[in-house]
Amino acid sequence: MKVMSKVSVIVGLLLVLVGLGGAIWAGWLSYRQWLALDALRSADVQSAGLPLLIGAAGLLMGGFFTGLGLGRPRREQPAQTPPSA
């Protein structure tokens, strides 16, 4: 695996982790808002739009870079012939 390929995979995996964090954050905000509405009480309204956007962008870019790094052509190894006896 070439150096740029390894860097692409590492950056991609980091972006996937950022995307998962954003998606979990958005889910938590939505869940807290739902709990407040379910209990018929008011709570400060927090939009989950920005965390969802961060999560989606992180997952999209992370998947792209990871796939780019893993899908690069490998260097062909020359065929090894067994030694003749």
80 in a structural domain: no
Specify the pTM.
0.72
State residue 43's pLDDT score: 66
Higher pLDDT, 40 or 18: 18
Please report how the helices 3-38 and 49-70 are oriented relative to each other, as an axis angle in degrees rounded to 10. Answer: 160
77 in a structural domain: no
84 in a structural domain: no
32: number of Cβ within 10 Å: 14
pLDDT band at residue 78 using 50, 70 and 90 as cut-offs: confident
Count: domains in the chain? 1
What phi, psi does 59 have (nearest 5°)?
-70, -40
Domain that holds residue 15: 3-70
Contact 58, 50 (CB under 8 A): no
At residue 9, does pLDDT exceed 80? yes
CA 59 to chain centre: 4
State residue 74's pLDDT score: 66
25-58 pLDDT, tens digit each: 999 988 888 888 777 777 677 788 899 999 999 9
Phi-psi region of 40 (alpha: psi -120 to 50; beta: other; left: phi over 0): left
